[in-house]
Amino acid sequence: MPDFRDYKTVQRWLEEPPGRGFQPVREDPAAKCEILEKFCAHIGVDPDTLIATTTDLVPTGSVERNKQLKALKQWVRAQELPDSQATKWENHIRGFFIKNGVKVLVRPYGDVYRRSPGERAARGLA
C-alpha cells in the first residue's frame, strides 16, 4: 500500500491551488490526513477510489455520493466525539470531497427545519 499522501486526491486536497479557489490544508495536515485515512479504512476504499466513485460524472447513475456522505455521518457519530470535534471531523472529510470536485450539499439546522409546525411552536421557533 502506498503512503497515504501519495494518492492523487490527497495531494490535490493538500496542495496550494494556483490563482483563486480553495485554500490548501494548512491547519495540521497530518491530523486531517489521519482522519481521512481512518474514514477510508472504515468504508474500505482508498481516497482515489472514493472520489472516482462519488463524482457526478459516474455514468452508472448510482447514488454513491449520498451513500458515502451518510456513511461519514454514521462513522463520525460512532466515534462519540464532542459536538464541536464531530463537526470538525465531518468538515475535514467534506473539504476533501469538495476540493476533489464532488458536490456536497448540507442541510443546516436539521433540528429546526425538520420539526412539525406544532413542535416548532412549542419551542418558540414558529
pLDDT value of position 102 = 83
CB 47 within 8 A of CB 36: yes
What's the rounded Cα separation, in Å, for the pair 86 and 80? 8
CB 64 within 8 A of CB 58: yes
pLDDT value of position 18 = 55
Query: pLDDT tens across 60-103, in order?
Result: 555 666 788 888 889 999 999 998 899 889 988 998 988 888 87
In three state form, how does the secondary structure of 3-42 look?
CHHHCHHHHHHHCCCCCCCCCCCCCCHHHHHHHHHHHHHH
Q: Is the pLDDT reported for residue 33 higher than 60?
A: yes
Task: Confirm whether pTM is higher than 0.75.
Answer: no
